[in-house]
A and B are shown apart, each in its own frame.
Chain A
Amino acid sequence: MYGFEIERPTSVADAVAALGADEAQALGGGQTLIPTLKQRLAMPSKLVALSGIAELRYVRREGDVLKIGGGTTHGTVAREAAGNFPGLAALAAKIGDPAVRNRGTIGGSLANNDPSACYPAAALACGATIVTNSREIAADDYFQGMFTTALEEGEIVTEVRFPIPEKAAYTKFEQPASRFALVGVFVAKYADGVRVAVTGASNDGVFRWSAAEEALSGSFSADAVAGLAAPDGSDMISDLHGSGAYRAHLVGVMTKRAVVAAG
């Protein structure tokens, strides 16, 4: 790592102020950023650790919305969302490994928007609202391609609001080495329709599979998906773990399984 200072504010306001410094960078759980720093792929002058901000750590239900503080770890979501939104809790329980889940945060994951991360699929499929220190951003506007989001420099994800679906499930086909999603599909059924978001597969990052949404909104069943053509493989990631065509095929399989798992 290059040398840098580390600051550990205890409030969002202090964190935002600290991030005003030149080349300052926010540190969430660090589970992606720290390995990146070890490779000297980033050169911040200052890291602003968000882990000391108690006000960013919560999971609470308000009406039909589950609100999760941006600094909440995956492990906490796995435990505390289980009653209100089991599909999301199950997703959180399968991110990385136990040690990663005890540090990694939902805000950090969404801010990074790794094309193989799990949370983006949930946020997009649920039409979640990403709340920052300065504004609210709809998920449909938030994700802008791999590692790219609507966040401005120095903006912190303070909360994520998930409308709680009637039924939902996430199925992940793991890349065998990293255990990130080779393809992950989140299916969420609401009174007004079904949303399907796919992570891991596309060169453009997380995306909604509209053909599946249409079919499932008509009939929420595995059969409804079975008849669909796989999405276009030419837009899919192709690497040593699988071709674009394979990933496209898996999108169909994982969607079907998510529908079954959602019950």
Chain B
Amino acid sequence: MPKDNGIGASTKRREDVRFLTGTGNYTDDINLYGQAYVHFLRSDVAHGRINGIDTAAAEAMPGVLRIFTGADFEALGGLPCGWQVTDRFGQPMKEPKHPVLAHGKVRHVGDPICAVVAETLDQARDAAEAIVLDIEELPAVVDMRKALEEGATLVHDDLTDNLCYDWGFVEENKEAVDEAIRNAAHVTTLELINNRLVPNPMEPRVAVGDFNAASGDSTLYTTSQNPHVIRLLMGAFVLGIPEHKLRVVAPDVGGGFGSKIYHYAEEALCTFAAKALRRPVKWTSTRSEAFMSDAHARDHVTKIELALDADHKFTAVRTSTLANMGAYLSTFAPSIPTWLHGTLMAGNYTTPLVYCNVRAVFTNTVPVDAYRGAGRPEATYQLERVIDKAARELGVDPIEIRRKNFVTEFPYQTPVAVEYDSGDFHRLMDKLEARADFAGFAARREESKKKGLLRGLGINCFIEACGIAPSNLVGQLGARAGLYESATVRVNATGGLVVMTGSHSHGQGHETVFPQVIAEMTGLDANMIEISHGDTANTPMGMGTYGSRSIAVGGSAMVRATEKIINKMKKIAAHLMEAAESDIELRDGTFSVAGTDKSVAWGDVTLAAYVPHNYPLEDIEPGLEETAFYDPANFTYPAGAYACEVEVDPETGRVTIARFTTADDFGNVMNPMIVDGQVHGGLAQGIGQALLENASYDENGQLLSASYMDYAMPRADDVPFFSVDHSNGTPCTHNPLGVKGCGEAGAIGSTPTVVNAVVDALQSGGYKVDHVDMPVTPSRVWAAMQG
């Protein structure tokens, strides 16, 4: 295997060349002949009753082709929710309809009311201003606690209250947990907020709908992490288009982080309008629009209690969370605070009893759904913050208290349903202690002091569950989808190989990494291998990319399909060399007969498959194309230990990240360079959540941080160089590559690390501060310091 392109090599990314030369093909770069433009007239009030929509004047404006309103979609489906959570009492969650265009009521600022299609975008915008809306403003439901009060205004009139579900996990353990907390030697309690975020991939969403009148086929080009899922949801549940008449293409996509998983109204509208008007219809989101129409993230209000015995062993965790759903249920929203959150509340520890209560609440805000980490950051943040607080209350070392409670034997069955297959938390902490130079911290703190700054050190451990699976389990938990992945491997007559994968790359580097795996398996040169993704016309089915699942699930499907190809090629090679199939070996792209000098080149075998003159036609078919669907046996469990040092300016409250060190276990690593990059990006997003980012609503439901003027995105000078390590991971035991996934770790592990460090810094300066809610902005730190 050439050292620079097999498994474990830091192969340079082939996709970079097009991105670096401006020749990428993002959805907004697609313009179809005869294309019209759509502008959405959106609600500027958070809650209101639609008493009338008068489009007459607008329809007469220049260039206007059609104005769609909620009435056009009344007979069609709403945007579907892909996960049904069952509550503590065995009842299904409440699932109000999510119309494509608002009907009856508007329920958040940004809720689309009308879609104006015109020859130009300016004409569409001009016409939108001429639409006369008669909307009776209603009191806005913004604060989750108030939303649950008796007599609160209802977001959905057909529901009895604003509670989506009241979920308990593990419900059977509730009394035992209560009892353990009553009897504990020490209980540490922490109330905290997991701040609402706006995902903000740099590419705003775009949709281009097209309709072929000759075939009756619809095509949607969209900024999606999972085009097949969009095809299924939009086709089957919204527009009633069978999948074989609908093609969804997600070309180069400029980041997703979860926000491009979901099926959005604009996609359905463009597809619908293209068919209605027999014209391609394009929508390009502005950033301002994205702030009020892309699914938001996090937004939990939590109280957590940690019970310890006299020996500082954790005996129970009890946690209670209000989780904001926003105005409607986004595609996977109900699963995030439940199955992706409660199942991680054991963390890296042997805590025997856990009870997690989550009440999901409807409010007049943008829908909330998964964002990098999705539920797991919320679990990690509260658990690791309360452990840190407990250590401070008890006067024990934050590392020692964690080590004392680590899970050390695998597989480990947690009290919250999941079974960790592999891991070594002590080794991760050992590595962190060595690499983060804790020994030198005291000296660095002195240096900071000389500059008038308070230095703090924060520690964190975390475990996540990635590659969500298997399908039959998630089905029991309420998923309305399978969570396998598919791959088709096609080898052409001339020997080139194409993988059509259901995974979707929007920055992850699949076009480079997947060929590394194939190269390792076949010995083929990387330039013989091509990756095709993002087009439902090419790939049999795909669940897409999220939850750190691409290499663990999509990669495994590709391995299985490639194994089928290799097995078939061995049969052909055996025939060509008149040898037994069991004696055939594949090495460096050549098939040979073990123990002889007989061999046949890769290209000879592929040619024989397509020109089967000398071919075992009685045993196998011609051609070389194989498909595999891979449904994992279990989640994967990446874990890590992180350390952060901050400097706090006591005069201004400003927090600066001075050092950030990670020790991660991702199992086997396919391309270390790319994995480093995934960790870096996750860390910046976590630091962003911890220090900068906040989607803030006022009491009327107006989003105050509705642009980059007020929503603080991390910039280059907000972060330092990171010191990351993921060597010597413990391989996943149940997938063929032994991989665990690396996309979300940085975002999951970083928030408590940063806040723990801030608290350490403040306490070192004599300030009696045991918690500051995120984002830990200068003004909040300063306010906390004032007492």
Contact = CB atoms under 8 A, between A and B. Distances in A.
A178 B122 contact: no
5 nearest interchain CB pairs?
A: A242-B779, A177-B712, A176-B712, A178-B709, A246-B779
A172 to B, nearest CB: 12
Contact of A240 (B126, B710, B713): B710
B652 interface: yes
Interface in A162-195: 173, 176-178
Contacts of A176: 691-692, 712, 777-778
Interface in B710-724: 710-713
Interface of A: 1-3, 38-40, 173, 176-178, 239-243, 246, 249-250, 253
Nearest to B710: A177
Contacts of A40: 125, 129
Interface in B698-740: 704-705, 708-713
A96 B713 CA distance: 15
A246 B710 contact: no
B537 interface: no
A173 B653 CA distance: 11
B712 A246 contact: no
A250 to B, nearest CB: 6
Given A3-B122, A241-B779, A177 B651 contact: no
B782 interface: yes
A128 B651 CA distance: 31
A77 B249 CA distance: 49
A217 to B, nearest CB: 24
B785 to A, nearest CB: 11
Given A176-B712, A177-B712, A240 B122 contact: no
Interface in B750-787: 777-779, 782-783
B696 interface: yes
A177 B711 contact: yes
Contact of A241 (B286, B710, B713, B783): B710
Nearest to B692: A176
A240 B652 contact: no
A38 B707 CA distance: 13
A209 B286 CA distance: 41
A243 B708 contact: no
Nearest to B126: A2
Contacts of B651: 253
A240 B694 contact: yes
16 contacts: A38-B286, A177-B705, A177-B712, A178-B708, A178-B710, A239-B704, A240-B696, A240-B710, A241-B710, A241-B779, A242-B778, A242-B779, A246-B779, A246-B782, A253-B651, A253-B652
B25 interface: no
Q: Which of B126, B651, B692, B696 has the most CB of A within 10 A?
A: B651
B288 interface: yes
Contacts of B288: 39
Question: Per DSSP, are chain B's interface residues mostly helix, strand or loop, or mixed?
Answer: loop
A184 to B, nearest CB: 13
A249 B705 contact: no
B427 to A, nearest CB: 37
Contacts of B692: 176-177
A17 B176 CA distance: 83
B285 to A, nearest CB: 13
Interface of B: 122, 125-126, 129, 286, 288, 651-654, 691-692, 694, 696, 704-705, 708-713, 777-779, 782-783
Nearest to A1: B122
Contacts of B712: 176-177
* Max count, chain B CB within 10 A of own CB: residue among A1, A38, A246: A246
Contacts of B783: 243, 246
B204 to A, nearest CB: 13
A6 B122 CA distance: 17
Contacts of B652: 173, 250, 253
Contact of A249 (B125, B129, B704, B782): B782
Contacts of A177: 692, 705, 708-713
Contacts, number: 50
A241 B712 CA distance: 10
A240 B705 contact: yes
A259 to B, nearest CB: 14
Nearest to B718: A176
Nearest to B654: A173
A108 B148 CA distance: 50
Given A39-B288, A176-B778, A240-B694, 8 more contacts: A3-B122, A176-B777, A177-B711, A178-B709, A240-B710, A249-B782, A250-B652, A253-B651
Contacts of B694: 240
Contacts of A250: 652
A173 B709 CA distance: 15
B125 A241 contact: no
Nearest to B714: A176
Nearest to A177: B712
A250 B779 CA distance: 10
A203 B692 CA distance: 24
A169 B706 CA distance: 33
Contacts of B653: 246
A242 to B, nearest CB: 4
B727 to A, nearest CB: 35
Contacts of B782: 246, 249
A242 B651 CA distance: 14
A212 B129 CA distance: 50
A243 B780 CA distance: 10
Nearest to A249: B782
A183 B286 CA distance: 30
B715 to A, nearest CB: 8
A243 B779 contact: yes
A100 to B, nearest CB: 13
A240 B704 contact: yes
Contacts of A173: 652, 654, 778
Contacts of B691: 176
Contacts of B709: 177-178
Contacts of B696: 240
Nearest to A257: B651
Nearest to B122: A3
Contacts of B777: 176, 241-242
A229 to B, nearest CB: 15
Nearest to B704: A240
Contacts of A246: 653, 778-779, 782-783
Nearest to B651: A253
Contacts of A240: 694, 696, 704-705, 710
A177 B711 CA distance: 5
Contacts of A249: 782
A240 B695 CA distance: 10
A198 to B, nearest CB: 15
A239 B705 CA distance: 11
A246 B651 CA distance: 11
Contacts of A178: 708-710
B63 to A, nearest CB: 12
A9 B462 CA distance: 62
A116 B694 CA distance: 21
Contacts of A38: 286
Contacts of B286: 38
Q: Which has the most chain B C-beta neighbours within 10 Å: A1, A38, A239, A242? A: A242
Nearest to A243: B779
A243 B286 CA distance: 30
A21 to B, nearest CB: 21
A249 B778 CA distance: 12
A241 B704 CA distance: 11
Residue in A3, A178, A243 whose Cβ sees the most chain B Cβ within 10 Å = A178
Contacts of A253: 651-652
A246 B783 CA distance: 8
A255 B641 CA distance: 42
A243 B784 CA distance: 13
